Amino acid sequence: MSRPVLATRRTLSPLVFAAFLTKLAKHLALLVCLAIVGQATGRAAFGQLTILLLAVAAALIHGLGQTLKRRSSSDFRAAP
């Protein structure tokens, strides 16, 4: 393999991982919404603390994904 292909592959990996983390965070946020609706209707599958922890986890995972995406996109701008 030539050198530019390896450089592209290294910078593409964080982008794919960032997309995965962002998608995971969105699914966790959807799970939180469904848990809140279940709590409101009386069919609670999760407790309030679990809902809070899921929301915090979704926010942290989303933030990490956005940070990775921002860092890897700045690599593309700096490349000649």
R_g of the chain computed on alpha carbons: 18
| Cα–Cα dist 16/8, whole Å | 12
% of residues, the chain, pLDDT over 90: 57
User: Which has the minimum average pLDDT: 35-39, 41-45, 61-65?
Assistant: 41-45
Instruction: Check if the beta carbon of residue 40 is closer than 8 Å to that of residue 51.
Output: no
CA angle 10, 29, 75 (to 5 degrees): 20
pLDDT at 63 over 50: yes
